């Protein structure tokens, strides 16, 4: 329910990943399942309802302790440097996220950041903190897979190691 009453907004991230692949490859690993045909391996995680040339409306499915959470989001693509997500329907009334791609030597620094908003003052903030933990975990898991696939496509194999290559800002 989105009432706007007692709205609290908290930051998500930022989380940075160094990926040993050019940013056009990293961008494609994220964008192609949305803008092209969704690979079979991702069908249990996302269902694109509407596709445009630079924006989609998609349902995301995330396993949580009590089952599967479904969110409906718009996703905008600004090649090669940015992908933006905006929550349309989900467990909280407001979420925006950005994936930013910056060249970093021969690789890419991918930064994920956003904000999550809840209503109803302290009670909403409590719920928002629970949702944010799950949300951040899902994004980290997704970006771990993106890192491995982008590095595979770049020919270097996956060299991702969370403790060594993930850095919090």
Rg (CA), the chain: 16
| pTM for the full predicted model | 0.86
Q: Give yes or no for a contact between 5 and 126, defined as CB atoms under 8 angstroms apart.
A: no
- Average pLDDT, integer, range 135-150: 91
Separation CA 129–CA 157 (nearest Å): 36
- Split at pLDDT 50, 70, 90, the class of 156 is low
- Split at pLDDT 50, 70, 90, the class of 82 is very high
Domains of the chain as residue ranges with CATH: 9-168 (3.30.530.20)
Partners of 75 in the β-ladder: 56, 85
Partners of 51 in the β-ladder: 56
**Per the structure block, which two tokens stand in for 3?**
């009432």
């Amino acid at each position: 329910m989105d009432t706007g009453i007692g709205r609290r907004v908290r930051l998500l991230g930022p989380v940075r990943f160094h990926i040993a692949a050019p940013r056009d490859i990293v961008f494609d690993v994220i964008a192609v399942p949305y803008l092209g045909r969704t690979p079979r391996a991702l069908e249990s995680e996302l269902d694109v309802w509407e596709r445009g040339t630079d924006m989609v409306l998609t349902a995301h499915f995330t396993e949580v302790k009590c089952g599967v959470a479904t969110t409906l989001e718009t996703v905008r693509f600004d090649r090669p440097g940015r992908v933006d997500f905006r929550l349309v329907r989900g467990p909280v009334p407001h979420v925006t996220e950005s994936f930013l791609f910056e060249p970093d030597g021969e690789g890419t620094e991918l930064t994920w950041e956003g904000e999550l908003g809840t209503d109803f003052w302290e009670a909403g903030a409590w719920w928002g903190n629970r949702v944010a933990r799950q949300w951040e975990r899902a994004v980290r898991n997704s970006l771990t897979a993106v890192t491995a696939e982008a590095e595979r496509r770049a020919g270097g194999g996956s060299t991702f190691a969370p403790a060594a290559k993930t850095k919090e800002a």
